[in-house]
Structure 1
Amino acid sequence: MYPRQIPETRPVARLAYAACVWIVLAVWLLPVFAIMLTALRTLEDVMAGNYWGWPDRINLWGNLVAVFTQTDMLRYFLNSLIITLPSTALVLILSTMTGYVLARHRFPGATLLFATFIAGNFMPQQVFMIPVRDLMVSLGLYDTFGALIIFHVAFQTGFATLFMRNFIAALPNELFQAARAEGASPGQVLVQIVVPLVRPALAALSILLFTFIWNDYFWAIVLTQTDAVKPVTAGLANLRGEWASSWNVISAATLFVAIPPVVMFFLMQRHFVAGLTMGAVKG
């Protein structure tokens, strides 16, 4: 059941609800605000314990320069792009093809196969840490881009297939009947009919996949060892010193790392909202 809307005849309840929303939003954004504030500080300001006060001197540019001159963050950034972009593209292709087959073709075991995709989403990925690592070592892929790409494609395809199958199943049957009557092959139906109609869903899914893969930290430290292949999440952890840490530089690097998912979301915001609401209204 969906929560009922608070009627306008209860202004106190509406005001209290709005106040609670703003309070929750402020608490949720508090860590982000702390990072942004720390990124403005100098190292002396951080060491002096001025964590929440206004910085004595704005040093954002100096911190950003330190990120690129004193650390390997640019290499980590490029590594993340090398891992995230092909992984996202492969998952989109595989999930669209699999979702189309499961939604529009009946064959023995289809329900069991779809249930397997769903069940895989409930398995915590951490339980596969040792088997996946041993598999990558035995294949000679440990500490390579291929290990992370293969893992993300394998483990994100289940969720993406569930996502795409539901969208494709909501398409009108008349479209597929007309395509078959015209002699279109299943591949032509997929490319010329299904893909154009589910573009909003693909846009929404691409944003989710990009964010999931870009922000992954656990598997970044399980399947990589050297700085040559580490993504930004593991690279940020390397910025911490053994005895002391330049938290102002780390905070500036964190803001830099957060730019690609944020930019991608705002560039595709219209498609993202359309994809999430696709099929919500019938008529």
Structure 2
Amino acid sequence: MYPRQVPDSHKRHRFIYMTLVFMVLTLWLLPLFAIMLTSIRSFSDVMIGNYWGMPTSFNLLENYMAVFQQTNMTRYFFNSLIITIPSVIFILVLSTLTGFVLSRYHFKGNWFIFAMFVGGNFLPQQVMMIPIRDLMVNLGLYDSYAALIIFHVAFQTGFATLFMRNFIAALPDELFQAARAEGASPWQILIHVVVPLVRPAIAALAILIFTFVWNDYFWAIVLTQSDTVKPVTAGLTSLMGEYVSAWNIVSAATMFIAIPPVLMFFMMQKHFVSGLTMGAVKG
């Protein structure tokens, strides 16, 4: 069922395996390398189509300074933080609470509620573009931070609940029985037993949700319009000219936008792999 490790004695198989791994990594990283290279090119290099050759001049400082001088990228950056951080916090809290209840308390309708959370993950969000936009307009939330925060919390909580429920369900029943025998309330069990044990799962989920929300572009342009609330993904469109686009500046802005998710991953990477696999063996 699971791929087996290639023994060291099978040199031919290991050579083929490592070659395939190198090819896949090259194909995966090639676009990123192209963006990094373009971000230090001059505008003339881009105009003559020099995308893969060595830059005729290195405009590292000029391109990255232009990102902040020609656009409101600093404002967009803080807008993304204002939208992403509360969304991640609300999603983690709600998914932990619902995952705890759905995995440890059996009541009528438990599986129906869980199926609703899971089923929402299979519904294409784009088909609800007009109803959601109209709802935000009617509520007076269109073109505001609250519109994007509410949307992301509502639509990411389903996946996060599925994620957290499996982790909490994998915890030994003896822990909960011992806590109840000591007179612990459900809230105390959640805070003092569950949360410390699923901390790797919470860290892994925080990275995933942060990346999903930060990189969202579709709903950023559907639910926002003014520069005062646009996140960085929608703010990139301000770098696009009507007839000519400075792709070196766009690439520099793209590299700048990628910094927060990368930093968050490296800060929590020790929890990431263990968090992704800890609850994968029990439903």
The 5-angstrom pairing of residues 164-175 of structure 1 reads 164-175=164-175
Q: Which runs of 5+ in 1 are unaligned?
A: none
The 5-angstrom pairing of residues 74-85 of structure 1 reads 74-85=74-85
Alpha-carbon displacement from aligned partner over 1:162-217 (angstroms, at most 9, x marks no partner): 00001001111111111111111111111111111111100000000000000001
What is residue 219 of structure 2 aligned with on the other side? 219
What is residue 178 of structure 1 aligned with on the other side? 178
Q: Report whether the alignment pairs 1:96 with 2:93.
A: no
Percent identical among aligned pairs is: 69
What is residue 13 of structure 2 aligned with on the other side? 13
Q: Distance in 2 between matches of 1:237 and 1:24?
A: 31
Alpha-carbon displacement from aligned partner over 1:197-240 (angstroms, at most 9, x marks no partner): 11110000000000000000110011111111111111112210
CA-CA distance at 1:106 after TM superposition: 1.1
What is residue 113 of structure 1 aligned with on the other side? 113
CA-CA distance at 1:21 after TM superposition: 1.2
What is residue 204 of structure 2 aligned with on the other side? 204
CA-CA distance at 1:3 after TM superposition: 2.6
**2:37 counterpart letter in structure 1:** L
Q: Report whether the alignment pairs 1:271 with 2:271.
A: yes
Q: Which moved more, 1:248-257 or 1:269-278?
A: 269-278
Aligned residue for 1:121, secondary structure, equals helix
Q: Distance in 2 between matches of 1:4 and 1:177?
A: 38
What is residue 143 of structure 1 aligned with on the other side? 143
Q: Report whether the alignment pairs 1:59 with 2:48.
A: no
**1:82 counterpart letter in structure 2:** I
CA-CA distance at 1:281 after TM superposition: 8.7
The answer to whether the 8 A contact 2:170-2:281 is kept is: no
Q: Distance in 1 between matches of 2:17 and 2:256?
A: 35
What is the RMSD of the two structures over their aligned residues, measured on CA atoms?
Answer: 1.4
CA-CA distance at 1:279 after TM superposition: 4.9
CA-CA distance at 1:8 after TM superposition: 4.1
The answer to whether the 8 A contact 2:167-2:280 is kept is: no
Number of paired residues? Answer: 282
Q: Distance in 2 between matches of 1:227 and 1:76?
A: 7
What is residue 33 of structure 2 aligned with on the other side? 33
What is residue 2 of structure 2 aligned with on the other side? 2
**1:201 counterpart letter in structure 2:** A
Aligned residue for 1:237, secondary structure, equals helix
Q: How does the TM-score come out when normalised to structure 2? A: 0.96
Q: Distance in 1 between matches of 2:279 and 2:93?
A: 21
What is residue 246 of structure 2 aligned with on the other side? 246
Q: How does the TM-score come out when normalised to structure 1? A: 0.96
Alpha-carbon displacement from aligned partner over 1:52-79 (angstroms, at most 9, x marks no partner): 1111111111111111111111111110
Alpha-carbon displacement from aligned partner over 1:74-124 (angstroms, at most 9, x marks no partner): 111110000000000000000000000001111110011111111111111
Structure 1 ranges of 4+ moved more than 4 A? 279-282
